[in-house]
Amino acid sequence: MPTPDFILTLRKKIGHDELWLPGVTGLVVDDRQRILTVRRADNGRWTLITGILDPGEQPAHGIQREVEEETGVQVRVERLLSIEAEPPQAFPNGDKAVFLDTAFLCTAIGGEARVNDDESRDVRWFARADLPPLPARHVRMVGWYFAGVTAPWYVGMPDHEPGMPTT
């Protein structure tokens, strides 16, 4: 899906100035413990599934929508993984944004993984050992999943380091 209409409307008013946007990320696993990834069309990088929430959309509903729109896979949201403000980003067209990202662990419950929109060049399931290079925060999330971390993580969280099981 291209840039949401509400962002295009805002961009007409503010140009390329920085926007604060609600984002979502999904760590999607299947029954074989494989991770669903997409290869982005804009920069060729492999990532977990990400997206922007529509105005008023609940984050858990948003990640379900984004995963299906981008990959054709339907998911059940299992739990919150993390919430964090990402570093500022600049896009090739000059737009600037900062995302407040809410990440979820999701289980695949239907559909066939495929490129389902123009945001991705490829969609694939990978075993952990075969994962392509991912953004650092996505690597961290995968680590939490395989380490059995169940507590949601946030910047400044006391008592444990990100990616380490809690007691």
| Domain assignment of residue 63, yes or no | yes
pTM: 0.90
- Please tell me the distance from the alpha carbon of residue 56 to that of residue 48, in angstroms, as a whole number: 23
How many Å apart are CA 140 and CA 132, to the nearest integer? 14
Cβ(145)–Cβ(105) under 8 Å? Answer: yes
Answer whether residue 160 shows pLDDT above 90: no
Residue 100 lies in a domain: yes
CATH of the domain at 18: 3.90.79.10
* pLDDT for residue 158: 67
pLDDT digit string (tens) for 12-46?
Answer: 999 999 999 999 999 999 999 999 999 999 889 99
Structurally, the chain folds into a number of domains equal to 1
Note the pLDDT of residue 51.
96
Q: How confident is the model at residue 1 (pLDDT cuts 50, 70, 90)?
A: low
- Full domain range(s) for residue 91: 5-148
Does residue 28 lie within any of the structural domains?
yes
42: in domain: yes
Beta pairing partners, 79: 105
